[in-house]
């Protein structure tokens, strides 16, 4: 049993002792773990911390703006915002195999990160938002590499030539403790209590070949779904459906179906909505969302996102289905 203010003080003292006057870099993904690590490190070492935020063009709507507003504008943390959309989209062109897509995204992320890190000659440490469950998981794996830049994706790792020492200030914490720490450090609760978002981002939610046009449509459909989940309150628990689900998102299906709009015929794409409830993400049940909520989301997506004329709801549990579609 420990109190949060005492914990923060102790963690800050430990980081200062470990790092001294060295500089530290951190791959900031906007996810809970790397965000809390950034806030904690900034409290401990201020300007000695530089974060690198890589936008691969597969982020959710306004994600880059939100991350920059929170970290750079609000906290005054040094964040290098790398817009690498063209590089990622170029490398992904024509690739439709899910594993091949993940490998490309992982490899390109490492390249971009490495290039940025190379511009910071005085950085001696690479900070990561590794949390206790990651430590246990990777102890059981043969490679142990799963932890490397896990905040952004879990494919591959950084090459030894970077010559940086690892700094993992959250290694002893469970997820709920990380969230409490984030709130104590002043991060917005909406950021700290977010659903997880995979490192490959929309790359695994656009089935088959990734195209910018698909990503743009998906981002808008997904934002509508999330907005309605946040707005719709369950009267029994008094919680929003965003809080009542563990993960929820839209998936882009690159198939076209026929519809009618006004007195015209449409021939447009399909999105699937996915919402699950789970405690450990190893197994998951599809969420029994209220019909009224599904109805609202469907009609908003079809009316507001030109290019999508059909919305479906995924009623598959894990196993045998996975949470993501790729």
Binding residues for ATP, as ranges, are: 29-35
> Distance between CA 100 and CA 115 in Å, rounded?
23
The reply to whether 194 sits near ligand XMP by the rule CB under 6 A is no
Among 62, 196, 255, 288, binds ligand XMP (CB under 6 A): 196
Q: Report the residue number, 171 or 318, with the smaller CB distance to ligand XMP.
A: 318
Beta bridge partners of 125: 24, 165
Interacting residues with ligand XMP between 27 and 46 (CB under 6 A): none
Residues 270-309 as x/- pattern, contact with ligand XMP by CB under 6 A: -----------x----------------------------
Distances (CA, A) of 226 to 107, 141, 203, 247: 30, 34, 18, 10
Q: How many whole angstroms from its chain centre is CA 296?
A: 26
Residue closer to ligand XMP by CB (options 22, 324) is: 324
Which residue in 194, 211, 300, 318 binds ligand XMP (CB under 6 A)? 318
3-state secondary structure (DSSP) of residue 248? strand
Between 42 and 153, CB nearer to ligand XMP: 153
Which is nearer to ligand XMP, 129 or 199 (by Cβ)? 199
Residue with tokens 């063209």: 86
Q: 300 vs 318, which CB is nearer to ligand XMP?
A: 318
The smaller minimum CB distance to ligand XMP, of residues 43 and 194, is found at 194
Rounded Cα distance, 199 and 30, in Å? 10
Q: Which of residues 153-172 bind ligand XMP (CB under 6 A)?
A: 153-154
Taking the complex as a whole, the smallest distance from the CB of residue 14 to ligand XMP amounts, in Å, to: 27
Residues 6+ apart with CB under 8 A from 185: 8, 36, 39, 40, 43
Count CA atoms closer than 13 A to 259's CA, side-chain side.
17
Number of residues this chain uses to bind ligand XMP (CB under 6 A): 13
**Nearer Cβ to ligand XMP (282/292):** 282
Q: How far is the CB of 44 from ligand XMP (least distance, A)?
A: 25
- The DSSP-derived string for 203-215 is GGTB-SS--HHHH
Reported for 41-47, long-range contacts at CB under 8 A and 24+ positions apart, including other chains, are 41/15, 41/127, 41/167, 41/169, 42/75, 42/77, 43/8, 43/12, 43/185, 44/11, 44/12, 44/15, 44/16, 44/19, 44/169, 45/15, 45/16, 45/19, 47/78
Among 245, 247, 298, 309, which residue interacts with ligand XMP (rule: CB under 6 A)? 247
How far apart are CB 199 and ligand XMP at their closest, in Å? 4
**Using the rule CB under 6 A, is 143 a contact of ligand XMP?**
no
Residue with tokens 């507001």: 304
CB of 216 to ligand XMP, least distance (A): 21
Q: Which of 30, 198, 241, 311 binds ligand XMP (CB under 6 A)?
A: 198
Which residues sit at the interface with ligand XMP, rule CB under 6 A?
102, 153-154, 196, 198-200, 247, 281, 318, 322-324
């Amino acid at each position: 049993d420990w109190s949060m203010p005492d914990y923060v003080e102790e963690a800050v003292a430990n980081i200062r002792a470990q790092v001294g006057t060295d500089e530290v870099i951190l791959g900031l993904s906007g996810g809970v773990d790397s965000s809390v690590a950034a806030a904690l490190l900034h409290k401990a070492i201020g300007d000695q911390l530089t974060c690198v935020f890589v936008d691969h063009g597969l982020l959710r709507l306004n994600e880059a703006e939100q991350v920059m507003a929170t970290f750079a504008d609000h906290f005054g943390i040094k964040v290098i915002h790398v817009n690498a959309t063209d590089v990622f989209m170029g490398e992904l062109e024509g690739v439709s195999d899910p594993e091949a897509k993940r490998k490309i995204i992982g490899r390109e992320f490492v390249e971009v990160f490495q290039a940025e890190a190379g511009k910071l000659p005085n950085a001696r440490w690479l900070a990561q938002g590794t949390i206790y469950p990651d430590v246990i998981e990777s102890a059981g794996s043969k490679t142990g590499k799963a932890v490397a830049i896990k905040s952004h994706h879990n494919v591959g790792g950084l090459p030894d030539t970077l010559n940086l020492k690892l700094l993992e200030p959250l290694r002893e914490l469970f997820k709920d403790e990380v969230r409490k720490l984030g709130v104590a450090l002043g991060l917005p609760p909406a950021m700290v209590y977010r659903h997880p978002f995979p490192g490959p981002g929309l790359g695994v939610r656009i089935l088959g070949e990734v195209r910018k046009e698909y990503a743009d449509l998906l981002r808008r459909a997904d934002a509508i779904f999330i907005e309605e989940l946040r707005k719709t309150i369950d009267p029994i628990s008094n919680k929003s459906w965003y809080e009542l689900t563990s993960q929820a998102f839209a998936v882009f299906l690159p198939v076209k179906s026929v519809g009618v709009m006004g007195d015209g015929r449409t021939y447009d794409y399909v999105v699937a909505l996915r919402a699950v409830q789970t405690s450990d993400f190893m197994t998951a049940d599809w969420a029994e969302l209220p019909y009224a909520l599904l109805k609202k989301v469907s009609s908003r997506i079809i009316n507001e996102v030109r290019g999508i004329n059909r919305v479906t709801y995924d009623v598959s549990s894990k196993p045998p289905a996975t949470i993501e579609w790729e």
